[in-house]
Structure 1
Amino acid sequence: MTEQRIGIIDIGSNSIRLVIYERTGNGAHRVIDGSKRAARLSEQIDEQGNIPVLAVRELVDTLNHFRLICAHHRTALIRAVATAAIRNAGNRKEVLLQIESDTSLRIELLSGEEEAGYGFLGMINSMDVKDGFLIDIGGGSTEVSLFRDRSLVQSVSFPFGSVSLTRRFGSKGLLEGDELRELEAYVQETAAREPWIGESPGLPLIGVGGTVRALGKIHQAKLKYTFQSNHNYPIPGQDVNGLFDQLRKLPLNKRRQVPGLSKDRLDIIVPGIAILRVLYSMMQAEHYIVCGSGLRDGLFFATRFPEQPRLDDVLSYSVNNLAALHPEVPRQHVTHVNQTALLLFDQLQHHHPFPDRARLWVDTASILFRIGTSIDYNDYTKHTFYLMINSHIYGLSHRETLLCSAIASYKSKNRAKQLASVYKPLLDEADVALIGMLGTLLQLAVALDRSETQSIGRLEIEVSDGKLVLQAVRAEGSLAVERQEVSALAGEFKKVWGLTPVLLPPAYR
């Protein structure tokens, strides 16, 4: 399979973004480049509702710059879409013709429903969530969707966003009492035309786009959050209210000092959160969740997999994609270790109660435990941990990502304790014990194929008299290397499990 690259350009109301995706020769997908330019197109629309000539020229310059980046990467396909700012402009036809003439790019003008659909696809392919609301607050529009059983049920695009409402109600990004009440009344009155928004209380409100991501970064900075990821990050409703009150009172020069808030959102962050709060209240939502994926990711999946763009199993796809990004890893060995680790878990879970998703964690860790060798074989476990916590393993919470990474890179209980101390309060003492048990289980699975020859064809497991008896029913050779490795691990395994693993000589029956 040859390398293939797709460029996605999103002409939004607040910014213009490029992302280049690559399919590697090993079948994995990754982002290899990206760029962002501020636009504020909604802010530049004149009194007649048109986008002025100067703004179009600047847009053309940006798109031609993006085309050069795509050409540098030999991008085979560029898909460029425009959303609310151009969609709502009175001179949209002229603007699109001018852009296409000066850039040779065909621009897809997305409807509000299409924009919501691609945003939903990007979100649902990056999160293990069954039911909820989705919101995307852009510069000139806000898309709201309801999904059930991972399928889109309702969606609507409202003709307001953080930039347009800042222009209409805000005075240099500030919302005084009367202005805030007018903004909230306008949003509520407009949204009330869609009664389904208030008919599914108790669901999470998942947010994509710049407003919600900025909110997540501010919240994490305030808490001194120890995990460096914004995706799949939950925020309680009362915390959002507190941050909103804090930000609203600050003049722009003071907002610059707020950790986590970028300078290009200083004036639009408060109106953006105001929109969010009104809709959250109308939905009677349970809590907020920040989603790092969205429209561009949805466009990628729809372009790359047009027959079936929605993933059935987000975690499995994500883990296998990450594994495929590291082709240096001995695939047959890893597959054998994965099967053995799950077999051991299935046998031993009868002797110890584990959390419901523990088997998923063992599965994930045993597929990815060797990816660190792509950096350096020596001390590869350290590199595995780093790669796992800094990669997109979708379908896991932050705590689960840390657990899987610690299990995959497990060396000792002391090291697990050190990790837990770094990532408090996400990991606690109970997690250290869990990491120790599942980490040593994975180490045992590795020891059982230490020669990396998959010599054990079938393994029978029995717990008897304080021993974990491992009987290779079908095997090639004497398994001397594997028996030596199991013996070396036996002391550590017994400390954690209270069982001494013993690999018997091969039996043939």
Structure 2
Amino acid sequence: MTEKYGIIDIGSNTMRLVIYKRGRSGRLREIENVKVVARLRNYLTDDDELTEEGIRVLLEGLFTFQEVTRFHRLTNVKCVATATLRQARNRNEIVRLVAEQTDFHIRILSEYEEAYYGFLAVVNSTSLSEGITIDIGGGSTEVTYFRNRELIDYHSFPFGALSLKRQFVSGNTPTEEELKKISSYVTEQFHSLDWLKNKKLPIIAIGGSARNLVQIHQVLKNYPIAGIHQYEMDWKDIVTVKKYLTSLTFEQLQKVEGLSKDRADLIIPAIEVFQTLYETVDAKKFILSRKGLRDGIFYEQFIQTLGTSIFPSVLEESFFELAQDYELNVDHVRHVTKLVIQLFEQIRNLSLFPLTGEDLVLLKRAAHVFYLGQYIDEEASSQHTFYILANRTIDGLSHRDRVKLALIASFKNKTVFKQYVKPFETWFSRVEQKQLRFLGALLKFAYSLNDTKRHIVQQIKIEIENENVMIHLFCNRSWRAEEYQAEKHKKHLEKMLKRSIELKFHFLDELGGVR
């Protein structure tokens, strides 16, 4: 049977069941996501007792999840709870009732565990080595500071989007005066931690409120690609969304695209928290992590075979996953990468085209996924490659770098490149676009040199003869198919180098000499 894993997250605002399936790469892929808006925080009394009605709502949500987990025949479902049940004085009774009446056993996370799992999700799904994380729940807010991908400090604040609304907002949406009170209260809370102030680091936000903020911003700016993980905003972007939302009536808020209807009354207080933290930290940017607490729990479980809970390289894991999912020929990729590095270094040494070390990094990445769209359709492999890479979440790559990768790895010709880059013209200068087009043309040429995947081209030497470029290709067997493809694709390089290219193929004998 296919390996499936389930986790239930009992939050103060929502309860959620997520079911994952282990993919070819060994990584977990989400296949079911069932949400119940329980708002358990509203059933917590002043004496910190969860009322009978609250317990009934909790059990009803779990019964709903139980039907799904039984359908999937899941026998071992993790079930965790956060702030509201952690604060409930009758939590032991609740845990007992759930165990007696359902298939689930609740594990109530400590403040440290809740913060730690959020941190773990961030460092295993981004390439950030230092930053501040924030996870706004319904009843608590966890912040952490990590450096060199290690957790340095953490704190759990006794407020969340739902509790802030209950404490400061009398209607469905806050007035200007109520927002000021929220800001003043949250500022005081954040300023109580010296390690937060003026850190000048990126803020990485986790959770539903952060997702909604990003989704609304993407709609407002007609964002051209899919995906929210690692989406970046700055202070002005946060303020823009806040101004837009505070200008709407509650009825209009409930219809805002990108905003969950059940968060319409919570989103503005949550954004006030994000803005206040941004100002406290004097942050450089605000980044969304779609991976959160639930992912952190599974990262802890499934990476332990490495002797650590943190991936050595997030990006390498992502490319491994792509290779597995699209059945890429790893030996072919390695050989083409070797060839394209030889071409790149000699072109740079001869000053034929301005190239940098950053360009080489980009080129190596693109070599791993060049024309992976062939997996879907050979004839339209360029189009599929661009769409997949531009729109698929690639942990460790920003959205801008993802589009760069897509443009290089899908290169077909100048006309098609211009079609692909058109929605992103404001993202890249003309010089950057030219650079990406050259890297794509170079990679396409390198792939033509291993057309039959026999690794026949072993060495490359480039010379300048009478202002023309002479490329010597040293082979260990017949090169006819490679010669045909290379002659066909060299024109893209000729146009960009503004020089004619002549190809000369040579045999290598067994001792490595030319004959």
TM-score, L = length of structure 2: 0.91
Out of 276, 279, 282, the position equivalent to 2:280 is 282
* CA-CA distance at 1:319 after TM superposition: 1.3
Residue aligning to 1:353 = 354
Quote the Cα distance in structure 2 between the aligned partners of 1:37 and 1:247.
Answer: 25
1:406 matched to which residue of 2?
Answer: 407
In the alignment, the residues of structure 1 paired with residue 312 and residue 283 of structure 2 have an alpha-carbon distance, to the nearest angstrom, of: 25
- Which shows bigger deviation, 150-159 or 73-82? 73-82
Looking at structure 1, the residues matched to 237 and 424 of structure 2 have their Cα atoms a distance apart, in angstroms, of: 21
8 Å Cα contact 1:132/1:205 also seen in 2: yes
CA distance in 2, matches of 1:349, 1:68: 62
2:57 match: 58
Distance in 2 (CA, whole Å) between partners of 1:22 and 1:501 is 51
Contact 2:145 2:151 in 1 (8 A): yes
Q: Which residue of 2 aligns with 1:496?
A: 496
Q: Where in structure 2 are the equivalents of 1:360-509 lying within 5 Å? A: 360-456=361-457, 458-465=458-465, 466-472=468-474, 475=476, 477-498=477-498, 500=501, 502-508=503-509, 509=513
Higher mean alpha-carbon deviation, 55-64 vs 479-488, is at 55-64
SS in 1 for 2:287: strand
Aligned 8 A contact 1:28 1:325 in 2:
no
CA distance in 2, matches of 1:237, 1:90: 39
Q: Is the 8 A contact 1:118 1:294 kept in 2?
A: yes
SS in 1 for 2:232: strand
1:18-67: CA deviations, max 9, x gaps?
22233235535422332222221112323432222333333333334334
Paired residue secondary structure (1:505): strand
Measure the CA separation in 2 of the matches of 1:114 and 1:349: 50
Q: Secondary structure at the match of 2:474?
A: strand
> 1:461, 1:471 within 8 Å by CA — same for their partners in 2?
yes
* Aligned residues of 1:14 and 1:139 also touching (Cα < 8 A): yes
Aligned-partner Cα distance in 2 for 1:503–1:34: 57
For 1:241-256, list aligned pairs within 5 A. Answer: 241-256=239-254
Aligned partners of 1:154, 1:425: CA distance in 2, in Å? 38
- Residue deviations 1:412-432, cap 9 Å, x none? 111111112123322443333
The one-letter code matched in structure 1 to 2:186 is V
| Equivalent AA in structure 2 for residue 125 of structure 1 | N
User: Which residue matches 1:96?
Assistant: 95
Instruction: Say whether 1:312 aligns with 2:312.
Output: yes
Q: Distance in 2 between matches of 1:197 and 1:305?
A: 30
| Partners of 2:413 and 2:371 in 1: CA distance | 17
Q: What are the Cα deviations for residues 420-467 of structure 1, in whole angstroms up to 9, with x where unaligned?
A: 2123322443333122211111111211111122233x2233232232
Q: Residue in 1 aligned with 2:220?
A: 222
Q: Which amino acid aligns with 2:431?
A: A
Letter in 1 for 2:274: L
How many residues get paired? 503
Q: How does 1:29-48 map to 2 (within 5 A)?
A: 29-48=28-47
In the alignment, what sits opposite 1:340? 339
State the secondary structure of the residue aligned to 2:196: helix
Using a 3 Å threshold, how does the CA distance of structure 1 residues 490 and 248 change in structure 2: closer, same or farther?
closer
Inter-CA distance 190–422: structure 2 relative to 1 (3 Å threshold): closer
Which amino acid counterpart does residue 447 of structure 1 have in structure 2? S
Measure, in 1, the Cα distance between the counterparts of 2:395 and 2:91.
37
| 1:485 Cα deviation from its structure 2 partner | 1.0
Letter in 2 for 1:121: L
- Aligned residue for 1:115? 114
Following superposition, the deviation at residue 267 of structure 1 comes to 0.2
Output one character per residue of 1:70-102: Cα deviation in whole Å (capped at 9) or x when no partner. Answer: 444454642221111211122211112212222
C-alpha distance 174-272 of structure 1, shift in aligned 2 (>3 A): same
Gaps (5+ residues) in structure 2?
none
Q: Bigger shift: 406-415 or 300-309?
A: 300-309
* 8 Å Cα contact 1:173-1:270 kept in structure 2: no
Deviation per residue, 1:291-350 (Å, 9 max, x gap):
2221122112111112322122111111111221123x3333233223323333333333
Alignment partners' CA distance in 2, 1:268 and 1:275: 11
TM-score, structure 1 as length reference: 0.92
What is the DSSP-based 3-state SS (H/G/I as helix, E as strand, rest coil) of the residue aligned with 1:196?
Answer: coil
One-letter code of the match for 1:401?
R
1:293 corresponds in structure 2 to 291
Higher mean C-alpha displacement, 443-452 vs 5-14: 5-14
C-alpha distance 432-26 of structure 1, shift in aligned 2 (>3 A)? same
CA contact (8 A) 2:314 2:396 kept: yes
The match for 2:234 among 210, 233, 236 is 236
Alpha-carbon contact 1:461-1:470 (below 8 Å) kept: yes
> Which deviates further from its counterpart, 241-250 or 489-498?
241-250
CA contact (8 A) 1:413 1:432 kept: no
Asked if the contact 1:471/1:507 (under 8 Å) is kept, the reply is: no
DSSP-derived class of the 1:184 partner: helix
Q: 1:218 to 1:41 in 2, by over 3 A?
A: same
The CA deviation at 1:282 is: 2.1
Matched residues in 2 for 1:151 and 1:191: separation?
21
CA distance in 2, matches of 1:503, 1:40: 72
C-alpha spacing 1:493/1:169, structure 2 compared with 1 (3 Å): same
150-159 or 492-501, which deviates more = 492-501
Contact in 2 for aligned 1:232/1:289 (Cα 8 Å): yes
1:149 aligns with 2:148: yes
Cα distance, 1:177 vs. partner? 3.8
* 1:233-266 deviation per Cα after TM superposition (whole angstroms, max 9, x unaligned): 2222133224323423432112134332221111
Is the contact made by 1:479 and 1:506 (CA closer than 8 Å) also made in structure 2?
Answer: no
| Pair 1:345–1:70, CA change in 2 (3 A) | farther
The SS at the match of 2:213 is: helix
Q: Which amino acid aligns with 2:128?
A: V
Coordinate RMSD, CA, aligned: 2.2
Does structure 1 residue 302 correspond to structure 2 residue 284? no
Give distance in 2, aligned partners of 1:90 and 1:6: 31
Deviation at 1:188, TM superposition (A): 2.8
Q: Distance in 2 between matches of 1:131 and 1:11?
A: 29
In 2, Cα distance between the equivalents of 1:449 and 1:76? 49
Find the residue that maps to 2:35 and give its secondary structure: strand
| CA-to-aligned-CA distance 1:451-504 (integer Å, 9 cap, x gap) | 122233x2233232232513225x1x2111111111111222211234525141
Conserved? CA contact 1:479–1:505, under 8 Å? no
Judging changes above 3 Å, is the alpha-carbon distance between structure 1 residues 338 and 10 closer, same or farther for their aligned structure 2 residues?
Answer: farther
CA distance in 1, matches of 2:24, 2:200: 45
Contact 2:84 2:139 in 1 (8 A): yes
